[in-house]
With several copies, the nearest count.
Chain A
Amino acid sequence: MHELALADSVLKAALSAADDAGMDRIDRIVVKIGELQQIERELFEFSLTTVLPAMDDRLAGVQFDLSEELVRFECRSCGTDYGRNDAGIEGDGDQDEAIHFIPELSHAFARCPSCGSPDFEIRAGRGITLERIEGSSEDDPG
């Protein structure tokens, strides 16, 4: 249920972006969910849509557009590009759980399938990013 904290940060970031853009209402928030962190999508979505919007009027009619992004690890040692399933992370246990809280702890458990190195870049699919917001201001034409 730490998904609520992640959802909360997304909405805070969205509201800040709305401020910057002079929006009075946010209609749509586009979020990318990285595979590595394995968030519980239902909890995350429930937090975004049901629990949190009450925090700000500008979120009253907001819609969410969530999409998932696969992990792409790139080995700094041999250059191999690999995915979560090839990284040797033990599923359904402590390793998964540690990475769920802090994706960088993959450096403790994940290894390059070609050379065994823990020295990789997480090129994509790490965690939650706010891709885009759409909205309007009172004095928008139309």
Chain B
Amino acid sequence: MIPGKSIDPRSFAIEDRLAGVSRIVGVSGSKGGVGRSIISSTLALALADQGKRVGLFDLDFTSPSDHVVLGVERGFPDEEFGIDPHFVHGIHMVSVAFFTGDTAVPLRGDAATNALLELLAITRWGDLDVLVLDMPPGLGDTNLDVIQLLPRLEFLLIGNGSKVVIDSVRRGLDLLTELDVPMIGLLENMHRGDERAVESLALAAGVPFLGSVPYDRDLEDALGDVDRLRASAVYSAVGDVLPA
């Protein structure tokens, strides 16, 4: 070590903590509200129902949603040699909402980086087929952090056909392509009518188009209730989105 310079030990533990995880999928897309949390949560649920060992890590620290989508009670995780994710509906899950309940968590980017490092260093994910990361919107600290800290991460980008979304997702996609970050592909959400803008964007950017999740006007009533989520059009659509 450099004399006089102290070392943050946390990053040295990350590789080991994730050693049993076969695949890390970052559900991202730079525009807010495109459905990252809905897709992350239902994808995790669908994979668990298929018998896969699945983790779900909500990284949108200042606006976590997965616990709402899956109707998960808050409460501290068990602490034993580290922290154990909650095991709910067949999913191994971590969210800051488990620690803070209803309280708002204002976090500047450097604090979000620290929170991420801390959770990566202490969480015992165990053996998983897939760990799903629900990413925050934008191209800020947490998205840059996972690129830097998790070289095995593959991005699954979410978009929809709205002009403002296409404009934003194109920027993000260009950047990830330039950086050669592993990319599963681009998934359209809230598909309606014969909209093709997301498919065209994938084609133009040279990334796989993963299909379309329909706009589901009954989804809202299913939020918080996994049985109804399982009956939703979104659930049916995401089950085979992840290529092997």
Contact = CB atoms under 8 A, between A and B. Distances in A.
A binds B: yes
Interface of A: 1-2, 4-6, 8-10, 12-14, 16-17, 20-21, 32, 76-77, 94, 97-98, 101-105, 107-109, 116-119, 122, 126-133
Contacts of A10: 9
Given A9-B9, A102-B118, 9 more contacts: A12-B9, A12-B13, A21-B1, A98-B100, A101-B79, A103-B114, A104-B111, A117-B179, A129-B9
A118 B111 contact: no
Chain B interface size range: 35 or more
A51 B176 CA distance: 42
B87 interface: no
- For the complex, would chain A's binding face be called helix, strand, loop or mixed by DSSP majority? helix
A108 B104 contact: yes
A128 B122 CA distance: 13
Contacts of B10: 9
B111 to A, nearest CB: 4
Nearest to B180: A116
Interface in B73-119: 76-77, 79-83, 96, 99-101, 103-108, 111-112, 114-115, 118-119
Contacts of A128: 9
B103 A109 contact: yes
A17 B234 CA distance: 48
